[in-house]
Structure 1
Amino acid sequence: MKTIVLGSGVIGVTTAYYLARAGHEVVVVDRQAEPAQETSFANAGEVSPGYSSPWAGPGVPVKAIKWLLMRHGPLVIWPKLDPVMWIWGLKMLRNCTAERYAVNKSRMIPIAEYSRDCLRALRAEIGITYDERSRGTLQLFRKQKQLDSTGDDIAVLKQYGVPYELLDRAGCIGAEPALAAVKEKFVGGLRLPQDETGDCHMFTQALAKEAAKLGVQFKFNTTIERLVADGGKITGVVTSAGLLQADAYVAALGSWSPRLLKPIGISVPVYPVKGYSITVPVTDPDGAPVSTVMDESYKVAITRLGDRIRVGGTAEISGYSNTLDAARRATLDHSLSDMFPRGGDLSKASFWCGLRPMTPDGPPIIGATRYSNLHLNTGHGTLGWTMACGSGRVMADLISGRKPDIDVSELNVSRYDQRFG
């Protein structure tokens, strides 16, 4: 079967790879010159099934007000005269209940853990490398109140069988020795030893080469203009290179998916939430993190990627803006210099932002649509890298008519027909 995958970020490329491995003829279309040039380019580097949780949860509205007032707050909102922004925000607020949080998290954990297993299998099968490490994630608490409030998180980890370690100050230093230099700045941490790290951009580019070996054709520098529908099927995609046709189509365009789908009558509540990162060369390996440290106070992830440190964070709701805000960099700089003052050279840091495709409830959108040959693989939010391999594998199974290894029926876009969309 010939399949066109729209988008060459980590979701699109993993989808294309698994489709090709299943024997399909695959074409990937993207406006960029090469894979992983947008949201997959410089994310925080975490593969963290243990932190696969909805942003919408009990207490979040109150916390959001506090975050907005912080100097180095993790949340920034620039209100716009955009009804889509306000509708998405209201839908998110409707999911900020204990009941909805439990449902949404139960939909996220299986695909995240399955994806980690697929990634490990992929490493074993093709020997792909991407500055990967399997050293866990340490959520670091600066205040005793944060440490004392871990009960609910631990209960959820126990519920889903996620291994964890609750650490005192000495335990945190044991996991991340460089923290010994700033031990007075934190009180303890929660460590998830099965989490991994790696460079998503490096992985995506390497996997694209493997996909090409399997026959995948990449059409770069090609703008996707619109889908052509006839009755209950998609008959083509209009691009700057002309009309492209296939038997099946996969929309993997992240935050841009709604704009492609709306003209053919499909509404997906995906909205861009901008994230920022800096990438800093390591100057003292002994003063740098060995894996990922999540600075809980600022919601900033500090990750070791080979001879670099990636620092990622901030949730900025400002539409489709790619403007780099110096104030956001100040937060990232502060977290790194405060926790790992000898680790990297901030004067040589590169500064980046990307648009995370967020759903209001948290889980991604994976599955069929009312058009028999159009499939969605989008809305992964901050967890695209964590969920990529599993999402791609599931999509390939669905298109191939095989039953996936995990049940993804509740990730379908049809869930938004229900009350809490």
Structure 2
Amino acid sequence: MRTYEKTHEFIKFSLDLRNAPAALWITLGECQSKCGDISSITLPPDIAKNIQNLYQAKGCLATLAIEGNTLTEPEVLQHLDNKLEIPQSRAYLVQELDNICAGHRYILENMGEIRAGKLALNPDLVKKLNELILAGLSLEEGVVPGRVRQHEKQVIHYRPAPASDCEFLLERLCDWINRKTFTAPPGMAVVYGLIKAVVTHLYLAWIHPFADGNGRTARLLELLVLQSAGVPLPAGQLLTVHYHLTRSGYFRQLDQSSRAGGEVEPFLLYAAQGFRDGLATLLERIHQDQAHTLWQAHVLQTFQTQTGPAAERQRRLILALSAADQPVPLAELPDLSPFLAKVYAARSMKTLARDVQTLIQMGLAEKGEAGIRARREILSAFRPVEPAPLLG
């Protein structure tokens, strides 16, 4: 009998979800459906790339912030765009960010082989991710990036698996995760991938095989498993984002999972619900970008046969107006952009009123008590019809 079997009896490498609550399966089904919706959406490459970059930044920020890194989302985006200037005293924060990005790149660069079954989840791969995470950082004595720890460790109130068993447990985890137990039937890739990702995370947290970087390694493994299951690229970051948004709940769930004798279901439900909510937010963002792109195309098509200064003013006016969240009073329309401010400064208010009336006649704008607004809803082809009031 190995030492961990006495000290960590809950590390059993078994999973039985036959009695899992209905809420878990409903949530997992929603995740499968929403991932399918996202995968089927078409977007211009530049917009899709912007969304991917944004969610990569969110994922990087989340996994680092959980560990105490203080970089902000704008700073992460600036750094990914090679525009961040930061004082030397905070340089180590950027090094931590670069390391997470290196882990992301490694996963994506090897995704073809992973999905083809040529590169299975194995101890060397896990060690490689830990090595990338800790590269170039100032570490405590005894911490070697990518090497299984040789000493005992205490994490707040939790004492991880014995150091003498860590190598064995890491091998057992990889062997178990690669078994047919986690092989998805047709149409269930996301469901099984999500279960597999969360279970991998949970077991790595219980084992804590490395002297440092276990949480970041576990969350990178989640990303790897989700992407290998075919989850859309930006959605791969959503679990990590959820853990960050609910940081205290995240640590509480991890703690309770070990205290409850290795009970997986509560943590799995917590993770799945956060993933589903993240997918809903991502879908909303994609639909907004899609609607904006379609609206711009519709405006350009509407003005396609019209030329001259007046048409140019009106086109620029409706495009600027479409970015406003609320109706804009007539007198404030020139403030929507520098171009409008300049062009209407040289003209009378009658010209502005005429341009607005033209846009109304074209069906692109609408005037109300609060001001003028763009009629973007005309592109919502199948929106529900407003019910007529009942006659008393």
Q: TM-score range by the shorter chain?
A: under 0.3
More strand, by proportion? 1
Question: How does the TM-score come out when normalised to structure 2?
Answer: 0.27
Larger gyration radius, structure 1 or structure 2: 2
Question: How does the TM-score come out when normalised to structure 1?
Answer: 0.25
More helix, by proportion? 2
